[in-house]
Amino acid sequence: MSARTLPLLFLNLGGEMLYILDQRLRAQSIPGEKARKVMNDIITTMFNKKFMEELFKPQDLYSKKALRTVYDRLAHASIMRLNQASMDKLYDLMTMAFKYQVLLCPRPRDILLVTFNHLDAIKDFISDAPGILNQVDETFRRLIEIYNCLSDGEFQLIRQTLLIFFQDMHIRVSIFLKDKVQNSNGRFVLPISGPVPWGTEVPGLIRIFNHKGVEVKRAEFTTAGNYVTPQREGSFELYGDRVLKLGTNMYSVTRPVETHMSGSSKNLASQAKENMAPNPLAKEELNFLARLLGGLDIQKPAGGETGFRLNLFTTDEEEEHAAQTRPEELSYKVINIEATQEPGRRAELSRILGELEVAEPRPDSAEKGEDLLALMDGL
C-alpha cells in the first residue's frame, strides 16, 4: 500500500467538510461575520504548519476511528458546535462524496486534480485573509512538488489504498440519489459513456502488424459503451483550469443534504468488527493527535461573541430522531477529547506528550493507549 496517501485523504475530506459547512451556515442564516470566522478558523487549523509537516511524512493511513476524531476536533476549532448526530451525518457525507470522486477518477493521477479543485475552492473561501491564503498556497506547492512527478503506477497504488479505506461503505446520500449518481442499494453509478481519460483511446480498433512492424490489417469491434475523445487535459499548476468537475462544490443553499441509513447487513457487521480490533498504530495516532491538541489555539467565545450550534438536519427534532435511530453498526465510537485553554491543562498535555515519546512498543501498548485516552477524557 502507498505511504503517500494520507495527505490526499485528509485534504479532500477536509474540502468536502467545508463545502457542507458552508451550505449549512447559509441555510441556517448564520450572520456573515460569524460564518466567515468559522470557515477561517477551520481552514487556519487545517493548514497549520506543524500539522502539515506531520501529515506529509510517509506513513500508513490512520484507522477510521482516529481519522474521524481528527475531523471532530477540526469541526470544533471555532465558535461552532455540532451535536453527535450532526457530526455523524457530516462525516458520512464527506466520506461518501470523496469515495465517489476517487471511484470515478478517469486516470489514477486525476486524484491530484480532484485535490486541486478542493484547494481552489478553499482559497475562494478565504480570499479576504491573505495570511491563511499563504498557508494554503504553501501546501499547494508542496503537493505539486511531491506528487506531480509520481508515475501512473504509483498513483494507482494511492488510488487502491484509498479504495480499500472506503470499501463496503454504502451510505445513501439524498443529493446523489436525486442526481442518479447513486443507486438505491448505495452503489455508485459507473457511466459507460462520455470522454475517455486523457491518454486513452476510444475502444474499438484492432491493428495488426507483420514481423517487419508494418501495419497490415485493421478491424473494429463494438460494445455497449459510447465513448468520445476528451477535449483537453486539466492543469496541474498552481493556477489553471482543472477541466475535471470531480471535487468541485456540488451543494448550493437550496439543495438540502440528507442521508438515509441503510439497514444492517453482513458488510456492516464486519466493519464494526474491524473497528474493534486492536490497532497497532494506536500509539502513533495518539501521538499525532496529542501534538495537534497541544499546539492549537482554541477559540473560546469571549465578551459579546457567542458560540452557536450548527444542525446538519432541517429541524432539531429530526436531529434528535437521527441520533436515536442510527444503527449500532454505523456508530463511529468517537473518542471524545475535551481540550481546554487553561495553561495548567496544557502542561498536563505536554507531560503526556513527553510520555508518548517512549520508543519501544511494549506488548501491552494497546492497553496503554486506552489509558491515555481515558486520561484525556477526564481533562
Residue for cell digits 447513486?
182
Task: Determine whether 307 is exposed, middle or buried from the number of CB atoms within 10 Å of its CB (0-12, 13-18, 19+).
Answer: middle
Contact criterion met (CB below 8 Å) for 319 and 335 = no
Q: Are 162 and 72 in contact (CB under 8 A)?
A: no
| Distance between CA atoms of residues 143 and 237, nearest Å | 10
130 vs 211 by CB, closer to other proteins = 211
Q: Which is nearer to other proteins, 134 or 183 (CB)?
A: 183
CB of 188 to other proteins, least distance (A): 7
Give the Cα separation of 40 and 275 in Å (integer).
Answer: 33
Closest approach, Cβ 372 to other proteins, in A, equals: 24
In the complex with other proteins, which residue's Cβ is closer, 302 or 359?
359
Q: How many CB atoms lie within 10 A of CB 366?
A: 15
- Rounded-to-integer distance, Cα 379 and Cα 363, Å: 27
CB 215 → other proteins: shortest distance, Å?
Answer: 9
Q: Which residues of 315-348 are buried (b: 16+ CB within 10 A; e: fewer)?
A: eeeebeebeeebeebbebeebebebeeeeeeeeb
Nearest approach, Cβ of residue 271 and other proteins (Å):
12
Report in angstroms how near the CB of residue 144 gets to other proteins at its nearest: 17
Q: How far apart are the C-alpha atoms of 143 and 148, rounded to whole Å?
A: 8
Looking at the Cβ atoms of 200 and 331, the one nearer to other proteins is 200
Shortest gap between Cβ of 220 and other proteins (angstroms)? 9
CB-count exposure of residue 166 (10 Å: 0-12, 13-18, 19+): middle
- Between 221 and 239, name the residue whose CB sits nearer to other proteins: 221
82: amino acid identity, one letter: L
Residues of this chain that bind other proteins (CB under 8 A): 1-4, 58, 103, 106-108, 151-154, 156-157, 163, 167-168, 170, 183, 187-190, 192, 196-197, 199-211, 213, 219, 221, 223-225, 227, 267
Task: Supply the angle between the helices 365-377 and 282-295 in degrees, to the nearest 10.
Answer: 30
Nearest approach in angstroms of CB 167 to other proteins is 6
- Minimum gap (Å) between residue 66 Cβ and other proteins: 19
Our CB check for other proteins shows the closer of 2 and 44 to be: 2
- E strand or H helix that includes residue 354: helix 343-356
Min separation Cβ 156 and other proteins, Å: 7
Torsion angle of the four alpha carbons 13, 16, 18, 20, in this order, in degrees rounded to the nearest 10:
-130
Q: Which is nearer to other proteins, 354 or 361 (CB)?
A: 361
* Closer residue to other proteins in complex, CB, 163/375: 163
Nearest to 105 by CA among 248, 246, 237: 246
Residue 341 CA: distances (Å) to CA of 118, 142, 300? 31, 31, 8
Measured from the CB atom, is 279 or 299 closer to other proteins? 279
Strand, helix or coil for residue 259: strand
Consecutive H or E run containing 300: none
- The smaller minimum CB distance to other proteins, of residues 188 and 308, is found at 188
Please state the closest distance from residue 210 (CB atom) to other proteins, in A: 7
